[in-house]
Structure 1
Amino acid sequence: MYLAELQELVSTEAQLAESLLQMAEVASHPALKEALVRHREQTEVQKERLVSLLQKHGADPTAHTDQAMQALIGETGKMVTMLKGNDLRDAGLIASAQRLEHYEIAAYGTAAALAGQLNLRDDQQTLHTSLEEEKQTDLLLTQLAKREINPHAVAA
């Protein structure tokens, strides 16, 4: 189960990296665009951490495709086409990005808990590092939404 969770997380990060790039391309607010690009870079690092953990345990990093992430990304694509105007689209991008972040936070929390139960303390620490990065990204998106993006979207 633990290895399957890690494999799902690799798929999640791979899918997210591509989606973040697409989201950054349609974002209009410079700070949002920058946050999405920066998170994409962080996502690549997180994926490599997961690949290393799986290789350490002799498991194939490409064995699973996370269908929940596929669905969430699909919903993001629908939202982008539905919302007209830069301010509304940026607010929608943040909402979608946070849904993706919350899914990752849950997945990393689960994997870290399993690593702890298996007494894999190094794995657990690695997963906690990624978990904290995801929480920080979520906080950054919340601050960006409250301070800059959402007030403009409401006015639109």
Structure 2
Amino acid sequence: MEISNFKDMYLAELQELVSMEEQLAEALLRMAAAASHPALKDALVDHHAETMRQKERLVGILRRHDTDPTAHVDQAMQALIGETRKMLGILEGDDLRDAGLIASAQKLEHYEIAAYGSAAALAGQLELRDDQMILHDSLLEEKEADAILTDIAKGEVNPDALAA
């Protein structure tokens, strides 16, 4: 896709978000399978379902703009997921692995928070209020997922990993 104007840039950002959500959905299931702490496993599975809904919202926005939702592959998300795989391969013990999973998941969430915030701002500049509201809803969901991971880390997983 040639990007020659502000709206094209916005649509390209949405395509990147679709790619991010697709990649994250797969990674969340692998992460949940690797998690041993029940609250962490549940949070990752729950966020997988939310991720799939977010992807469908993005696809809907792109279709309303007559834009192919699958035109991009987000390489930054690929790299972050690769780092997660690498981390899981070197962490020993369930408690430490769970702490590493949370740290990795939060990196992924923070990347999504930045991307949704940027996309919502672009939609606002284009006066695409419906798009902006949908993107803002996803942004709030990402922030909530991050907060849940923080609570699990502080309250349960990290103290267990420290004691191990």
How high is the TM-score relative to the length of structure 1?
Answer: 1.00
Displacement over 3 Å in runs of 4+: none
Q: Distance in 2 between matches of 1:143 and 1:27?
A: 16
**Paired residues for 1:1-156 under 5 Å:** 1-156=9-164
Q: Distance in 1 between matches of 2:89 and 2:97?
A: 9
Q: Deviations 1:62-116 (Å, cap 9, x if unpaired)?
A: 0000000000000000000110000000000000000000000000000000000
Q: Distance in 2 between matches of 1:134 and 1:111?
A: 14
RMSD, aligned α-carbons: 0.3
Q: Distance in 1 between matches of 2:27 and 2:16?
A: 16
Q: Distance in 1 between matches of 2:18 and 2:38?
A: 29
Amino acid at match of 1:71: A
3-state secondary structure, aligned to 2:60: helix
Shift of 1:124: 0.1
Q: Distance in 2 between matches of 1:25 and 1:144?
A: 17
Unaligned runs of 5+ residues in structure 2 are 1-8
How high is the TM-score relative to the length of structure 2?
Answer: 0.95
How many percent identity over aligned positions? 72
Shift of 1:33: 0.3
Q: Distance in 1 between matches of 2:40 and 2:29?
A: 12
Q: Deviations 1:37-73 (Å, cap 9, x if unpaired)?
A: 0000000000000000000000000000000000000
3-state secondary structure, aligned to 1:59: coil
Q: Distance in 2 between matches of 1:121 and 1:10?
A: 20
